[in-house]
């Protein structure tokens, strides 16, 4: 090709990709949102101290931000090398400090450090959700320090676990 020559094949291919995306986008978004909600429900049921950051209704289909008080998100990530988990928010991935995004929505530094971010996509399936939920819940329960883990650790702090819920922060 000469400089300035239009890549006609590339333009046609890009137009076809956009046409397919337009057709499949809504269906994909609904399927991914269902998977995300399934993952969230499984983790909230297994980890009674955990809560979702943000609205459950008004969020990206493939994003789950979950705080599990009493854990260090870095330790959880290190213990689960086979699952793609990130710490905090996308804005501060890889930094040692708690996410300024999470502290801006009201999390204290300890909860910001106990927050994980999971992303789902077009190729995520039910079996990956089941596996991730099981593994994350098991490892988080093992790493957890607090009144909600008194049975596993033998430690208590005087807080009745029945007072804990999965309150969402908006």
- Does the active-site annotation cover 27? no
* Catalytic residue, candidates 15, 60, 84, 91: 91
Q: What is the pLDDT of residue 92?
A: 56
Q: What is the pLDDT of residue 159?
A: 29
Instruction: Report which secondary-structure segment, H or E, holds 67.
Output: strand 63-67
Domain ranges of the chain: 30-163
Q: What is the pLDDT of residue 114?
A: 95
Instruction: Note the CATH architecture for domain 30-163.
Output: Alpha-Beta Complex (3.90)
Structure tokens given for 161: 């676990």
Residue ranges in the chain whose pLDDT is less than 70: 1-2, 88-96, 146-170
pTM value is 0.75
Contact in structure between 69 and 143 (CB atoms under 8 Å)? no
Q: What is the pLDDT of residue 153?
A: 39
Contact in structure between 94 and 148 (CB atoms under 8 Å)? no
């Amino acid at each position: 090709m000469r400089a300035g020559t239009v890549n006609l094949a590339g333009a046609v291919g890009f137009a076809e990709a956009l046409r397919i995306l337009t057709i499949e986008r809504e269906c994909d978004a609904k399927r991914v949102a269902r998977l995300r909600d399934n993952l969230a429900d499984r983790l909230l049921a297994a980890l009674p101290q955990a809560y979702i950051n943000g609205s459950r209704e008004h969020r990206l289909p493939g994003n789950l931000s979950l705080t599990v008080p009493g854990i260090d998100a870095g330790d959880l990530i290190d213990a689960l090398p086979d699952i793609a988990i990130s710490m905090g928010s996308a804005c501060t991935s890889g930094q040692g400090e708690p996410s300024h995004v999470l502290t801006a929505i009201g999390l204290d530094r300890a909860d910001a450090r106990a927050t994980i971010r999971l992303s789902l996509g077009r190729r995520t399936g039910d079996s990956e959700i089941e596996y991730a939920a099981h593994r994350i819940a098991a490892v988080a329960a093992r790493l957890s320090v607090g009144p909600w883990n008194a049975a596993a650790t033998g430690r208590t702090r005087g807080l009745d676990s029945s007072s804990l819920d999965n309150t969402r922060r908006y």
